[in-house]
Structure 1
Amino acid sequence: MTAPPRIDDAAAAAAAAIDWDKLGFDIVRTRSYAEYTWRDGAWDAGVLVPSGPLSLDVWATSLHYGQACFEGLKAFRMRDGKVRVFRPDVNARRLQLSCRAISMPEVSVELFVEAVNRAVTDNLDFVPPYGHSGSLYIRPFVVGSGPQVGLTPAPEFKFIVVVNPVGDYYRGGISQPVRAVIQHGFDRAAPRGTGHTKVAGNYAPCLGPTTRAKKHGYTVMLFLDPKTNRYIDEFATSNFAALTRPDVNGRRTYVTPRSRSILSSVTNRSLTELAVKHFGWTAERRQVSWDEVRSGAFDEVVACGTAVVVTPIGAIDREVLLDTAGASADPRVAPLSSATTGIEHLWDDAELDNYTDDDDAAPRAVQSVEFSSNFEGFKQLQKAYRQIQTGDLDGWESYGWMLPAAGL
Structure 2
Amino acid sequence: MAAGFTLSVYPWVYKAKYDGQGWVEEFQEKPHRTPEEEARMGDSDRASLLSLRNSFPDLPLINYTSQYGMGCFEGLKAYPQPGGGLKVFRPDMNASRFEASMKGLKMPGYPGDLFEKAVIQIVARNAALGFRPEYWKEWEANHFVTADSVYLRPFSLSEGGIGLNLSSFPWVVIAATPVGSYFDPDANSKAITTDMVRATPNGTGWIKCNANYVIPTLAKKQAIAQGYMEAVFLDSREGRFIEEGSSCNIFFRLKDGTLVTPAVEDRILNGINRRSVIQLALDKGVAVEERPISIDEAMEDGQECFVTGTAAGVSYIESLTHQGRTSVFNQGKMGDLTLDLLKTLKGIQYGAVEDVHSWMVDVPLERE
CA distance, structure 1, for counterparts of residue 30 and residue 115 of structure 2:
19
CA distance, structure 1, for counterparts of residue 302 and residue 221 of structure 2:
28
Structure 1 residue 109 displacement after superposition: 1.0
Distance 1:46 1:261, change over 3 A: same
AA of the residue aligned to 1:157: P
Indicate the residue corresponding to 1:118 in structure 2. 121
Alignment of 1:34-53 (within 5 A): 34-50=14-30, 52-53=53-54
Indicate the residue corresponding to 1:349 in structure 2. none
2:2 to 23, 27, 35: 23
Deviation per residue, 1:201-228 (Å, 9 max, x gap): 0002333333222211121110011122
CA distance, structure 1, for counterparts of residue 188 and residue 194 of structure 2:
19
1:224 to 234, 255, 259: 234
Q: Gapped runs of 5+ residues in structure 1? A: 1-21, 320-365
Alignment of 1:190-339 (within 5 A): 190-245=200-255, 252-258=257-263, 259-277=265-283, 279-295=284-300, 297-319=301-323
AA of the residue aligned to 1:378: T
Contact kept in structure 2, 1:317 and 1:367, CA below 8 Å: yes
- Higher Cα Rg, which structure: 1
CA distance, structure 2, for counterparts of residue 202 and residue 374 of structure 1:
30
Distance 1:42 1:70, change over 3 A: same
CA distance, structure 2, for counterparts of residue 284 and residue 74 of structure 1:
27
Q: Gapped runs of 5+ residues in structure 2? A: 32-52, 140-146
Deviation per residue, 1:286-326 (Å, 9 max, x gap): 1111111121x22110111111212211111123xxxxxxx
Deviation per residue, 1:263-295 (Å, 9 max, x gap): 111111111101112x22221111111111121
2:192 to 181, 198, 205: 181
Indicate the residue corresponding to 2:343 in structure 1. 383
Structure 1 residue 405 displacement after superposition: 7.9
Distance 1:399 1:177, change over 3 A: farther
Distance 1:390 1:275, change over 3 A: same
Q: Secondary structure at the match of 1:56?
A: coil
Query: Scaled by the length of structure 1, what TM-score is found?
Result: 0.76
Structure 1 residue 61 displacement after superposition: 4.4
The alignment yields a C-alpha RMSD, in angstroms, of 2.0
Contact kept in structure 1, 2:76 and 2:310, CA below 8 Å: yes
Give the percent of matched residue pairs that are identical in Structure 1 and Structure 2.
Answer: 29
CA distance, structure 2, for counterparts of residue 271 and residue 63 of structure 1:
36
Structure 1 residue 402 displacement after superposition: 0.4
Indicate the residue corresponding to 1:356 in structure 2. none
Q: Secondary structure at the match of 2:251?
A: strand
Indicate the residue corresponding to 2:179 in structure 1. 166
Query: Scaled by the length of structure 2, what TM-score is found?
Result: 0.83
Number of positions where the alignment pairs a residue of Structure 1 with one of Structure 2 = 328
Structure 1 residue 151 displacement after superposition: 3.3
CA distance, structure 2, for counterparts of residue 29 and residue 370 of structure 1:
40
Indicate the residue corresponding to 1:140 in structure 2. 154
AA of the residue aligned to 1:379: L
Contact kept in structure 2, 1:84 and 1:407, CA below 8 Å: no
AA of the residue aligned to 2:280: L
Greater RCO, CA 8 A, separation 6+:
2
Structure 1 residue 32 displacement after superposition: 1.8
